[in-house]
Structure 1
Amino acid sequence: MHIRFPSKLVAGDLIAITAPSTGVPPSLHPRLDLVIKMLEARGFRVIEGHCLRTVYKNKSADKILRAEELKNFLTNPEIKAILPPWGGELAMELLTLINFAELAKLEPKWFSGFSDLSTLHVPITTLSGWATLHGPNLMELAAELLDPMTQKIWEVLTSDREMVITQQSSSFYQKDHSDWIANPKAGLNLTEPTQWKRLDGKSTAIDFKGRLIGGCLETISRLAGTQFANLPQFYQQHAKDGVILYFESSELKPCELTRALLSLKMHGWFNHISGLLIGRNMEQQVAHSTQQNAFDAIHSVLSDLAIPILYDVDIGHVAPQLSLVNGALAHVFFNENGSTISQYL
């Protein structure tokens, strides 16, 4: 599968906003309005979908309506990017309603976000050949002042193709979320020291290369063994370049995380890859406990793999997070004094 990259976004481009998973409740419409004004201030035109400003039973709308709107936006040549407000829970309902083979014949456009949006990223990249962007959700971009890591998403979206985008590891992460209802302009609350770590406990520098693929473990792990996430096939297609798998977990309890990882191991997701990046998980901070914790989960399942494995990486629900392009060639440099990841668009 040849990976195709969307064109860079420029002033005048049309950006569509729809919620293929969970919609935005009225209490957060001020935040949504702010981010739309921000897009317009950058010179973009914005179209809102009907499946956006309502929430019912964890969804923005019925699955048929959500799928039709997303398909219309994906196939409309005037639209250059689709930026959902955030993820949610049930994007999986849409998979059998989207013709990914049809998308493979069309010019790619940016589809960006994280969490449940990974459910759509993976098949769009592996079945349709579009590079997709796993990074800060649109609602995070409404902040009056963006932190440097979150700000990097705009470099990815607006840089010329063939560019190399390098991102640094963060120094602090967010433990307590800002209240977007009380302060719609709030940014991240970065207070806790953080550092990428090697799973083998070593501190020596390492580096590795490969094409990126991955996302939120809660959602993409459910797709293992299906046509929508045939990662062993993706690895085979890109064996010459190698593949870097990445994932993060937002809410899996340690034993469920262990089971999810064991299942993926049995499905061959950790075979024939160049390296593995694991996002920061709050429970990994639990050091001495008689109960299984998140670190125990990843260590017990993955420590026997003969590949570089980094954890506490800036990916996912414990902000800030990197902007990772599924399908892009990446070069990861680990150093205990600061790490980087460079992506070739």
Structure 2
Amino acid sequence: MSARFPPKLVAGDLIAVTAPSSGVPQHLHPRLELAIANLKKKGFRVREGRCLRSQHKNQSACKVSRADELMSYLTDPEVKAVMPPWGGDLAMELLELIDFNLLAESEPKWFVGFSDLSTLHFPLTTLSGWATLHGPNLMDLGAQALDSTTQAVWEILGSARGTVIKQHSSKAFQTDENQWGTATNEGFNLTQKTQWKHLDGVTSSASFSGCLIGGCLEIISRLAGTRFGNLPLFKAQNSGEGVILYFENVEMAPCELTRALFSLRLQGWFNNLSGILIGRSAVPDVSDPTKHNYMDALRAALGDIAVPVLYDVDIGHIPPQLSLVNGASATVLFTENGSSVTQQL
């Protein structure tokens, strides 16, 4: 199965903004408005959904309202992209209410973001055959100026099918919390030097290619074994090209991370891959040397995998992050002096 890519975005296109998971609380409306204003500055028209500017019990609205609004945007020929403000916690409630078979027969459009949005990215690609963009959320795009890694999302969204786009590892990453409440139009505070690493600790360079698929590990580890997370089928469909699996950890402590990874391992997820990319972990590591830590978790589940495993990659909740297209053919080049991901749309 080859993923179907949406057409590039051009000035005048309509972008729909809805929150299929968490909504935007009142105190962050100024940041949302800046992000929407930035879309309009680029020449796009914007349609705001009803499920957006409220938040109650970790939801923008009830699951039926969220699913209905999302489906209406995903099937509306006038809408060219759906850009939620961010992820959240409860997108899983929508899966039984989304008609992925109908979407498989519909023209694809860009669905953009990360975190809990992986709940929707994964089946949109594996069931409906859409290429989807795992990258900065709309709220990240409310900054007055974007760093080059974040800015790449617009290169992908604005490029024609068949375009080859190369993204390099970032120069630095952010460790502190976003300051949107006090400095509303601020970008990321990139202070720590970025260094992608090879899990074996020895390899100084590596290159591998395949079809990209992945997302937030908390999500995809729970989709595994269901029709919404059938990676073995996706691998079989792309056996000629190979598959690159990517993920990132946002909340799981080392022992829980180990359990999640072993669950995927026992289901065959790590068999017959071209390579694995792991984003920077957002969880503080264990400092007690007598206890199981983050690197113990990675080595326990992935240390004997016979393909390259890179970690501390620019993916996920410790910004900035690459814009990775689920379903795109990609080549990863790893070196100690800088790495890159090249994708063909």
Q: Same fold (TM over 0.5)?
A: yes
AA paired with 1:14? L
Aligned to 2:179: 179
The farther-off stretch of 203-212 and 127-136 is 203-212
The answer as to 2:243 corresponding to 1:243 is yes
Is the contact between residue 22 and residue 89 of structure 1 (CA under 8 Å) also seen in structure 2? yes
Identity of aligned residues (%): 62
- Correspondence list, 1:222-233, <5 A: 222-233=222-233
- Correspondence list, 1:89-168, <5 A: 89-168=89-168
Report deviation, 1:170. 1.3
Q: What runs of 5+ residues in structure 1 fail to find an aligned partner?
A: none
Q: Deviations over 1:249-271 (max 9, x none)?
A: 00111100000000000111111
Report deviation, 1:287. 7.2
AA paired with 2:178? S
Is the contact between residue 283 and residue 293 of structure 1 (CA under 8 Å) also seen in structure 2? no
**SS of residue matched to 2:27:** helix
- Correspondence list, 1:53-92, <5 A: 53-92=53-92
How well do the aligned residues superpose, as a CA RMSD in angstroms? 1.1
Is the contact between residue 280 and residue 313 of structure 1 (CA under 8 Å) also seen in structure 2? yes
**SS of residue matched to 1:317:** coil
TM-score by length of 1: 0.98
Q: Distance in 2 between matches of 1:339 and 1:8?
A: 26
The farther-off stretch of 8-17 and 197-206 is 197-206
**SS of residue matched to 1:229:** coil
Q: Distance in 2 between matches of 1:257 and 1:112?
A: 26
Q: Distance in 2 between matches of 1:331 and 1:191?
A: 28
Is the contact between residue 2 and residue 327 of structure 2 (CA under 8 Å) also seen in structure 1? no
Equivalenced residue count is 345
Is the contact between residue 280 and residue 312 of structure 1 (CA under 8 Å) also seen in structure 2? yes
The answer as to 2:337 corresponding to 1:337 is yes
**SS of residue matched to 2:228:** helix
AA paired with 1:250? V
Is the contact between residue 87 and residue 116 of structure 1 (CA under 8 Å) also seen in structure 2? yes
The alpha-carbon distance between structure 1 residues 13 and 109, as it changes in their structure 2 partners (threshold 3 A), is same
Is the contact between residue 177 and residue 188 of structure 1 (CA under 8 Å) also seen in structure 2? no
Q: Distance in 1 between matches of 2:315 and 2:178?
A: 18
Aligned to 1:310: 310
Is the contact between residue 18 and residue 49 of structure 1 (CA under 8 Å) also seen in structure 2? yes
Is the contact between residue 251 and residue 283 of structure 2 (CA under 8 Å) also seen in structure 1? no
Aligned to 1:32: 32
Q: Distance in 1 between matches of 2:203 and 2:132?
A: 32
Report deviation, 1:286. 5.9
AA paired with 2:171? S
Report deviation, 1:291. 1.5
The alpha-carbon distance between structure 1 residues 283 and 19, as it changes in their structure 2 partners (threshold 3 A), is closer
Is the contact between residue 252 and residue 283 of structure 2 (CA under 8 Å) also seen in structure 1? no
AA paired with 1:131? A
Q: Distance in 2 between matches of 1:286 and 1:175?
A: 17
Q: Distance in 2 between matches of 1:227 and 1:262?
A: 19
AA paired with 1:211? C
Is the contact between residue 177 and residue 189 of structure 1 (CA under 8 Å) also seen in structure 2? no
Q: What runs of 5+ residues in structure 2 fail to find an aligned partner?
A: none
AA paired with 1:125? T
Report deviation, 1:283. 4.8
Q: Deviations over 1:165-224 (max 9, x none)?
A: 100011211011231011110110101112000001114211000000000001111111
Q: Distance in 2 between matches of 1:14 and 1:283?
A: 37
Q: Distance in 2 between matches of 1:93 and 1:338?
A: 40
Report deviation, 1:285. 6.3
Q: Distance in 2 between matches of 1:284 and 1:23?
A: 26
Report deviation, 1:99. 0.8
Q: Distance in 1 between matches of 2:42 and 2:211?
A: 30
- Correspondence list, 1:203-222, <5 A: 203-222=203-222
AA paired with 2:314? D
Q: Distance in 2 between matches of 1:31 and 1:132?
A: 24
The farther-off stretch of 255-264 and 285-294 is 285-294
Q: Deviations over 1:224-247 (max 9, x none)?
A: 100001000000000001000000
Q: Distance in 1 between matches of 2:251 and 2:259?
A: 14
**SS of residue matched to 1:325:** strand
Aligned to 1:326: 326
Q: Distance in 2 between matches of 1:287 and 1:58?
A: 31
Is the contact between residue 284 and residue 295 of structure 1 (CA under 8 Å) also seen in structure 2? no
